[in-house]
Amino acid sequence: SDFICLPLFIHYICTVVLAYSGGLDTSCILVWLKEQGYDVITFLANIGQDEDFKAAQKKAESLGAKKVFIEDLRSEFVEDFIWPTVQANAVYEDRYLLGTAVARPCIGRRQVEIARREGAQFVSHGATGKGNDQIRFELTCYALYPEVKIIAPWRIPEFYNRFRGRKDLMEYAQKHGIPVPVTPRAPWSMDANLMHISYESGILENPKSHAPADLYQMTKNPEDSPNAPDVLEIEFRNGVPVKVTNEKEGKSKDSPLEIFSYLNEIGGNHGVGRIDIVENRFIGMKSRGNKLK
């Protein structure tokens, strides 16, 4: 709450760049920040998730965003973040290939670039106070924009005491004309990008609960995968893939984004990449999650 600007005591409006997803939480945060007297610039990164970006832009504009930035970061996500993890053979707790962990710094880097360019003194995000994303976003922002101030609503008592659950957010949304989902939310949370989809919370909190078959989106069930293999030749240079060729079909890809996307397609078709783990979060909590690579 120390970061809240109070227009009664200042002669200018503070500008904040909000990492925006278009979902319920960040839409409510957008309106709440405006209530606190901020000019809000929203930033939505395309890192390979299935998203209606035009709808998200219209929604942000309708809720009063001063500016809306939607930027395609897929190529730099592969080249600057995914490939270095491949070079380093970066794996967390022997199994987790860090799909969300490397995506957040990619988003945060562009967020602070926008903040600097727009003269914004503040950045904000919708990460909770219980998970890793708050750390990923904030360390990135502080490293690249040391003087920036970060507004983390889910750690501000005035915010989290007001919004104690989804019901409170829904009521706030209805009161302020924020469009809300018309279909029931899936009984888990999901984070998707080019590198993976991760699922956690809800029914997955109980380790005895098997992940439902309809949860998986990037990979086929191995039982339903083709019996005939695809034969791929991958050429590496300095530890990084520079070309992939499907020897059966004669197809080749040689740009980083095309290579990675094609390998996703082939691997997913063969059921490659599913894991089910209970991981240790940075803050000390344990979290059960299903990951797709």
104 is catalytic: yes
Contact status, residue 124 vs residue 152, Cβ threshold 8 Å:
yes
Residue located via tokens 């504009």: 61
**Active-site hit among 133, 136, 191, 198:** 133
25 is catalytic: yes
The reply to whether 168 belongs to the active site is no
Closest among 217, 207, 230 to 278, alpha carbons compared = 207
- Residue 54 CB-half CA count within 13 A: 0
- Residue linked to tokens 């996307």: 261
> Which string of DSSP letters, residue by residue, matches 120-160?
-SEEE----TTSSHHHHHHHHHHHH-TT-EEE-GGG-HHHH
Q: Which of 104, 109, 110, 136 is catalytic?
A: 104
CB 261 within 8 A of CB 67: no
Choosing from 21, 25, 74, 198, which is the catalytic residue? 25
Active-site annotation holder among 75, 80, 168, 189: 189
Instruction: Kindly report the length of the chain.
Output: 293
Per the annotation, the verdict on 224 as an active-site residue is no
CA separation for the pair 195, 20 (Å, rounded): 20
Residues with active-site annotation: 25, 104, 133, 189
